[in-house]
Structure 1
């Protein structure tokens, strides 16, 4: 299959091969680079840069690809740490350079709209993400339940498809057993509706959990919230600490710290000056982490590798 495709390329114009997914795409990139006798570099994107440690055959193949790579580019420090933890013996001498994800959310939201946003009269918490255990809605709902005891008028909107029905039923049982009101699962929504949710929210909350080797590789949704000038609350897991600057653009807690999360929710729902300060900083962070910035870092890394070849 590869042989049939090679004839379309001028080999002399190829300086290196970059696999934008670690595996299985990285296997194709590895074979191509070997045939062309060019350096092979790999982007490591969250779960699928680490998951193969659980599969004997795939782990063997993947480990051979990793140890022969000229460089590995994780999208977060959290992803880098997990690759080193599970594939460390195969990474001796392989440079690992974290290049954070980019985004273009801020381009569609005028800066003045974000910086001068008005907080709603009804304290409103917003989460955006598919309804699966890894997104940690059982934790965020537990925190919201504590918030309701002190701020009864608060409400919680959850945007995202219900991909795990059993988990959704678990969340519904929690809501019923705690007589928890004002929680809305909005499902998948249009771009216009999503924009309205962000504009009408007081803050953004998402509490990802690491389940086995499934984890939040970065957390672009926190930057999407930042584009709207929202402060964010998250958990110290995976790549979230790279997406959220703790104490600057938002607040971070241990994955199971329901008490800390509930206190931070109450703080930002009642201290609007602090919420605005964090939200404005999050807007600036979203403007900083652009795809152009990522591309520049990749290009500089390419040049360094080519010089060494």
Structure 2
């Protein structure tokens, strides 16, 4: 069975890229006859070293900012992307849009033209944004109506989606929650880093991971850390994620400056996968407090919460976000309201109570171990099989009776 996958990357540097690599690899292990053809977006991030050489991978899709293009450019790229995807899907059984709208629009356009089903994954912000956009809503709803199934990475994302999309367009039974997963064993053993010591070695620190943008909520966690650090003289904070050098990044530095702790805030930019694991293993607390941004963006799940849990590091996340699905509150980490006082109280409770911290670390490891890409892949393959069976029934009904 050949499946065409649409994604903006196969990179370790972003959640969608890690999701794509790990899910497809796990499905291939369960179903050895799976033929993988991946279509990437232009200007994609560096491809993971874990991508097998036998996968067919080609750049054939619009860049990541497709959603924001002018209507004329959008139309051109929709045509190009659909043409390229249809060509790839000529001998395929199914198209899977791992990237949200509008790349999923290209996927379903091409699948319809090829006469095969399309399954889409909904990760969060760009599952919801199209259906509240004056410009994109009509087109998005038409696309959602045509998906054979939509995989939501969290109950939170599914709840928000179904509150906005009428059931006659997207019936609830076609929206399946298949939570993100983690290969827990990969985060247990210490990693060997080439090139000697890193800036975080030998330091006591909290850690944040995620692109420096509002919806990731770095400003919330950083304000809480800065207040704590002002009275905790050896506590540092390391922040991993793409640096744009914009107003938001400057505002983060200003928070630390205001509290007199700028010398203990370290903006690392992107790091390697091994460095990320090393950071997660050494951190005192993983502090990732996403918010609902002014533009409506939100965190749909957060694989990195599971990665922190697997590394034995307590995570603090936000309520009213996909963190609700990734963290078992009080067992594998803490969930707090989206305000600084709540984040600071949680941070203090973990740092000041070794017994509680140890309990959360133990609970986090157990939670991560119960998660697996194998189970995720098994659920997705079952969704494929269901979509293909329904497609076969429809095809038989269309044939004239003899």
Match of 1:156 among 225, 229, 237: 237
Cα deviation digits, residues 57-95 of structure 1 (max 9, x gap) = 432111111123232111111211222233336324662
Aligned to 2:112: 34
1:227-246 matched pairs, under 5 angstroms: 227-246=310-329
Q: CA RMSD in A?
A: 2.8
Structure 1 248/29 Cα, relative in aligned 2: closer, same or farther at 3 Å? Answer: same
Which residue of structure 1 lines up, in the alignment, with residue 247 of structure 2?
Answer: 166
Alignment partner of 1:217: what SS?
coil
**Matching residue within 142, 161, 181 for 1:102:** 181
Residue 91 of structure 2: SS of its match in structure 1?
Answer: coil
SS, match of residue 97 in structure 1 = strand
1:287 paired residue among 369, 375, 381? 369
Report how far residue 8 of structure 1 moved: 4.8
Structure 1-normalised TM-score?
0.84
Aligned length: 297
> In structure 2, the residue corresponding to 1:50 is in which secondary structure?
helix
Shift of 1:54: 4.7
C-alpha change, 1:193 and 1:7, in structure 2 (3 Å) is: closer
2:97 aligns with one of 7, 19, 22: 19
- Cα deviation 1:237-295 (Å, max 9, x = unaligned): 33111111111110011112x12211111111122222122122222222332221111
Partners of 1:77 and 1:242 within 8 A in 2: yes
- 5+ residue gaps, structure 2, are 1-82, 192-200, 394-402
Instruction: Tell me what 2:353 maps to.
Output: 271
With over 3 angstroms needed to count, the CA separation of the structure-2 counterparts of 1:132 and 1:154, relative to structure 1, is same
Contact 1:230 1:276 in 2 (8 A): no
* Structure 1 residue aligned with 2:290: 208
2:90/2:114 contact within 8 Å kept: no
Q: Is the 8 A contact 2:181 2:306 kept in 1?
A: no
1:151 CA drift (Å): 3.4
Q: 1:253 aligns with which of 333, 336, 339?
A: 336
1:83 to 161, 181, 186: 161
Contact 2:215 2:297 (8 Å CA) reproduced? yes
Task: Indicate how the Cα distance of structure 1 residues 276 and 167 shifts in structure 2: closer, same or farther if over 3 A, else same.
Answer: same
TM-score, normalising length: structure 2? 0.66
Instruction: After superposition, give the CA deviation of every residue in 1:87-115 in whole Å (9 maximum; x if it has no partner).
Output: 336324662111111233x232336x69x
Q: CA deviation at 1:122?
A: 6.3
**Counterpart residue number, 1:296:** 378
Using the alignment, how far apart are the partners of 1:47 and 1:93 within structure 2?
Answer: 19
Q: Distance in 2 between matches of 1:291 and 1:100?
A: 10
What stretches of structure 1 of length at least 5 have no aligned partner?
A: 115-119
Other-structure match for 2:260: 179
Q: Distance in 2 between matches of 1:142 and 1:109?
A: 28
Q: Find the aligned partners of 2:383 and 2:252 in 1 and give their Cα distance.
A: 45
Query: Which of 123, 129, 140 in structure 2 is aligned with 1:45?
Result: 123
* Structure 1 residue 153, shift from structure 2 partner: 3.3
Query: What does the per-residue CA deviation read over 1:186-210, in whole Å, with 9 as the maximum and x for residues that have no partner?
Result: 3333444434322321111111111
